[in-house]
């Protein structure tokens, strides 16, 4: 066994900051750390583990839909002679340790909640061959009985942790590199579909902690100068636009960007609530590099927002969206068109709202179904009423109106590529906006780029109106009962029209991206 080696296996479509913070803490303590993407071939993972012979293998189970993939991989490791201590962490592991041990009995331990101090303590115990079962914050099985050790308190000062361990920084677009980072952890809000507050509520400590703005900028400075990173995607559930002490965090953050000569040289994206979008504050942020905001809109009606416990109104959503549009800041958003209590009437109210905010083509229409994630209020309500179906990682529900259930299935089947495929219209339209944002940020205004922006808006608007009109027509068709899912010429015609519209709109958007790339290359050529 290599007495200084630890291996993490994690989902890393983007850098897994939770794992990379823990890796940095272990590295600072003198341990060698390697991170393996769990999507790598299983035989390659086994070979790497045999070569490393680590003290510990850590699995990051952030997303519950991957639980059974992790189960299969861990079973494969054990069947191929890997006897190393295997631990798991993440939201599901922390909140449902008993279930996880039932699903993956070959786990040795679970690191619950914030993992930096607990994992280092566990590795130190393994390194000394000491009794690791005494480590606070761990869960394990003892003769078949689940043991949950006393929870470890959250770290009050997040800047006590070293900067997360980084891999090679990837290219965003137009030769600009990007990475993710955090300005804080936790969320003070308590929406019925989210378990973030529950994750930070159980261990001792505040449910939300914010880093020193100067330290955040110091990390950005390092990433910019040492790793050539120009685009920063903040992963905070709610960026500290407004703090509980109203401490002027954003003012200090923007001033630090100026002091470090980053303002004007880097771009950044945040997640925010619509009711926190203050015109003056966001104008200042835009001047210092803010180019995109993800808004948790979720519903377009006061009744729906109240039911979700969002603590805002539809007018707050509209005001926040309009402010960002007026500032020419790009918008992503979350929207739950389908919820356990959705009816045809509430659906059409929300379609009208989507037309109001997306009809101009500033952003593509996108929506999803509210899912009952573990330890959320909606999961508990559905379980209590007997509507919860499926197994951990795949929990779901049916709608009480059979025709609405059929309508929902038809919509997501017909619009799946449009809405969910990485190469579908919704995603590529967002990337087209990103291309225009990045080009415009780093280059002088160009008439041709302005024309492409107008063309993008017109194309997205046309596609949005088509989708919303189609959804309205389909809702009338299904509510009337005049449909047959398996043999209905009208529904088949809708499928064909949706596919044809999608392909034509996607082609147009792709051409716009190509022209932005050509402008960028031409500019580089003339510079040479």
pLDDT above 90 coverage of the chain, percent = 85
> pLDDT category, 64, cuts 50, 70, 90?
confident
Q: How many angstroms separate the CA atoms of 110 and 445, rounded? A: 54
Q: What is the mean pLDDT of residues 382-396?
A: 92
pLDDT(524) > 70: no
Classify domain 5-148 at the CATH superfamily level: Cobalamin-binding domain (3.40.50.280)
Q: Does residue 2 carry a pLDDT above 60?
A: no
Give the chain's mean pLDDT: 93
3-class secondary structure for 299-337?
CCCHHHHHHCCCCCCHHHHHHHHHHHHHCCCEEEEEEEE
Q: What is the DSSP letter of 110?
A: E
In angstroms, the Cα distances linking 148 to 59, 96, 121, 151, 518 are 18, 11, 16, 8, 58
Judge whether residue 284 has pLDDT over 60.
yes
Residue range 412-424, pLDDT digits in tens: 999 999 999 999 9
Query: Does residue 525 have a pLDDT over 60?
Result: no
Mean pLDDT of 474-486: 82
| Torsion angle of the four alpha carbons 334, 335, 339, 342, in this order, in degrees rounded to the nearest 10 | 170
Sign of the dihedral through C-alpha 319, 325, 330, 331: positive
β-bridge partners, 288 = none
pLDDT for res 244: 58
Q: What is the pTM assigned to this prediction?
A: 0.93
Q: How confident is the model at residue 297 (pLDDT cuts 50, 70, 90)?
A: very high
Q: How confident is the model at residue 519 (pLDDT cuts 50, 70, 90)?
A: confident
pLDDT of residue 12 exceeding 90, the answer is no
Tokens of 342: 């959705």
pLDDT category, 136, cuts 50, 70, 90?
very high
Which of 301, 330, 349, 362 has the alpha carbon at shortest distance from 439?
A: 330
**Phi, psi values for residue 129, rounded to 5°:** 60, 40
Q: Mean pLDDT over residues 12-26, rounded?
A: 90
- Residue 475 confidence (pLDDT) above 80: yes
Find the radius of gyration of the CA atoms of the chain: 25
- Cα first-last separation, the chain: 54
The pLDDT of residue 195: 92
- Using alpha carbons, select from 278, 286, 309 the residue that is nearest to residue 194: 309
d(Cα 73, Cα 39) in Å, to the nearest integer?
10
Per-residue confidence at 246, pLDDT binned at 50, 70, 90? low
- Give me the phi and psi of 57, to 5 degrees please: -115, 125
pLDDT of residue 329: 97
Contact 30, 7 (CB under 8 A): no
Please name the residue that has the structure tokens 């990390």.
219
Quick one: pLDDT at residue 527? Answer: 39
- CB contact at 8 A, 19 and 10: yes
pLDDT band, residue 512 (cuts 50/70/90)? very high
C-alpha–C-alpha distance, residues 103 and 406, integer Å: 32
- What tens digit of pLDDT does each residue of 257-267 get? 999 999 999 99
Given pLDDT bands bounded at 50, 70 and 90, which one contains residue 63?
confident
Structure tokens belonging to residue 16 = 């897994």
Residue 137's pLDDT is: 97
Cα separation, 511 vs 452, whole angstroms: 10
Residue 181: in which H helix or E strand, if any? strand 176-181
Query: What gap in Å lies between CA 296 and CA 310, rounded to an integer?
Result: 9
């Amino acid at each position: 066994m290599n007495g200084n080696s630890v291996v993490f296996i994690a989902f890393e479509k983007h850098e897994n900051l939770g794992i990379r913070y823990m890796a940095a803490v272990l590295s600072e303590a003198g341990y060698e750390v390697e991170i393996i993407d769990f999507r790598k071939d299983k035989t390659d993972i086994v070979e790497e583990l045999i070569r490393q012979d680590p003290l510990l293998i850590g699995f990051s189970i952030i997303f519950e839909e991957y639980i059974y993939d992790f189960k299969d991989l861990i079973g494969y490791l054990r069947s191929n002679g890997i006897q190393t201590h295997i631990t798991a962490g993440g939201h599901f592991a922390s909140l449902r340790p008993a279930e996880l041990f039932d699903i993956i009995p070959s786990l040795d331990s679970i690191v619950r909640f914030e993992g930096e101090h607990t994992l280092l303590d566990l590795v130190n115990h393994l390194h000394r061959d000491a009794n690791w079962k005494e480590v606070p914050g761990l869960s394990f099985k003892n003769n078949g009985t689940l043991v949950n050790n006393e929870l470890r308190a959250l770290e009050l000062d997040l800047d006590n942790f070293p900067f997360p361990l980084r891999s090679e920084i990837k290219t965003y677009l137009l030769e600009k590199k990007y990475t993710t980072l955090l300005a804080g952890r936790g969320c003070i809000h308590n929406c019925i579909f989210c378990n973030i507050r529950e994750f930070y509520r159980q261990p001792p400590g505040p449910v939300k902690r914010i880093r020193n703005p100067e330290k955040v900028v110091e990390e950005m400075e390092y990433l910019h100068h040492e790793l050539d990173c120009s685009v920063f995607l903040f992963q905070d559930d709610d960026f500290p636009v407004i703090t509980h002490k109203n401490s002027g965090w954003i003012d200090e953050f923007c001033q630090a960007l100026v002091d470090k000569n980053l303002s004007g040289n880097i771009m950044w994206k945040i997640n925010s609530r619509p009711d926190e979008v203050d015109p003056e504050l966001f104008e200042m942020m835009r001047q210092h590099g803010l180019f995109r905001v993800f808004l948790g809109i979720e519903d377009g009606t006061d009744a729906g927002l109240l039911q979700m416990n969002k603590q805002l109104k539809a007018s707050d959503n509209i005001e926040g969206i309009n402010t960002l549009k007026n500032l020419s800041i790009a918008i992503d958003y979350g929207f739950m068109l389908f919820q356990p209590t959705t009816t045809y009437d509430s659906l059409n109210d929300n379609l009208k709202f989507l037309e109001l905010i997306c009809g101009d083509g500033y952003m593509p229409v996108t929506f999803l179904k509210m899912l009952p994630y573990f330890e959320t209020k909606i999961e508990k309500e559905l379980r209590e009423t007997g509507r919860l179906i499926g197994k951990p990682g795949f929990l779901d529900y049916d709608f009480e109106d059979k025709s609405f259930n059929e309508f929902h299935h038809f919509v997501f089947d017909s619009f799946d590529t449009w809405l969910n495929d990485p190469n579908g219209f919704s995603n590529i339209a967002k990337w087209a906006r990103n291309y225009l944002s990045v080009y415009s940020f780093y280059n002088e205004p160009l008439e041709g780029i302005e024309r492409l922006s107008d063309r993008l808006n017109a194309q997205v608007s046309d596609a949005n109106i088509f989708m919303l009109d189609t959804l309205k027509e389909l809702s009338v068709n299904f509510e009337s009962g005049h449909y047959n899912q398996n043999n209905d010429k009208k529904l088949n015609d809708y499928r064909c029209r949706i596919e044809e519209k999608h392909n034509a709109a996607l082609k147009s958007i792709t051409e716009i991206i190509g022209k932005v790339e050509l402008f960028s290359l031409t500019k580089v050529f003339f510079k040479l």
